[in-house]
Structure 1
Amino acid sequence: MKKVSIVYWSSGGNVEVLADKISQGAKDAGAEVIIKTVSEAKVEDVVSSDAIAFGSPSMDNNRIEQQEMEPFINQFKLLPNNQKSLVLFGSYGWDEGKFMEGWKERMKDYNFNVIGDLTVKEAPSAEELNRAYELGRLLAK
């Protein structure tokens, strides 16, 4: 059984809804899932997992959340991530979600294997929730 960790930051609840749907997809596909807000998460949650999902809204000029998520993500810069499967997800308002492209490149530079991503404008649609569910299933493979 694969172990999947989902770590996210959410203010308005949209990223949390996506995290829950990714979790459901991974569980339904047979994975053991750990889902935590970034304030609860530890590096070990990521290191000890087979696959990871990170979620954040776009904030502060097309960047991930800077007070908690950014410092957490930075911890993986020098760790041996060994092409661990990773899904990135998040929401945006006015900036068209451009933060995701930079985040994907950064995580590839940190030696993660980015196998999928999802950005939603404001609240996720039914179609976007289905995509989140499928990303969870993909992480469990």
Structure 2
Amino acid sequence: MKTAVIYWSGTGNTEAMAKAAAEGANAELFEVSEFNGNAADYEAFAFGCPAMGAEVLEEDTFEPFFTGIEGSLSGKKVLLFGSYGWGDGEWMRNWYDRTKAAGAELIGDEGFIVNEAASDDDLAKLKELASKLA
């Protein structure tokens, strides 16, 4: 199964998570601005983005990318992950509901989130969860 992990990271926290997810899923890893593939070429995706502003996806790069790809997610396995520094995870719940409404087969109950930097235990859990994309 061809899988892509696509992420945006401002501080490196989500990047570390993306690397763990890519390892767990045996997937290709892309920073969002580097992905120029066709969604139809992949059967599964892991998307990573931290909470920004008032608990939203990063607005300049990741949100426009995700808006463009979400219509192609129907029937595909998708894992969502990211980190946050404030709030209660509303951005992930909204993103999860949005992705589910697009017809994706979501992995995990409500996405995978951590406060600030992921611990080694968090990264191991994410890696295991990402292995379900295969």
Q: Structure 2 length as normaliser, TM-score? A: 0.92
Matches within 5 A, 1:70-81: 70-79=63-72, 81=73
Residue correspondences, number: 132
Contact preservation (8 Å) 2:17, 2:118: yes
Shift of 1:59: 0.3
Task: Identify the structure with the greater strand proportion.
Answer: 1
Shift of 1:42: 2.5
Matches within 5 A, 1:5-84: 5-27=4-26, 33-42=27-36, 44=38, 46-79=39-72, 81-84=73-76
Matches within 5 A, 1:85-100: 85-100=77-92
**Structure 1 spans left out of the alignment, 5+ residues:** 28-32
Runs of 4+ in 1 over 4 A off after TM superposition: none
Deviations 1:13-51 (A, max 9, x none): 000000000111122xxxxx211011111351x321111
Q: Secondary structure at the match of 1:138?
A: helix
Contact preservation (8 Å) 1:96, 1:121: no
Contact preservation (8 Å) 1:43, 1:75: no
Distance 1:63 1:25 in 2: 26
Query: Percent same amino acid among aligned pairs?
Result: 36
**Structure 2 spans left out of the alignment, 5+ residues:** none
Q: Secondary structure at the match of 1:120?
A: strand
1:118 equivalent among 102, 106, 112? 112
Residue 133 (structure 2) pairs with residue 134 (structure 1)? no
Task: Identify the structure with the greater helix proportion.
Answer: 2
Q: CA RMSD in A?
A: 1.3
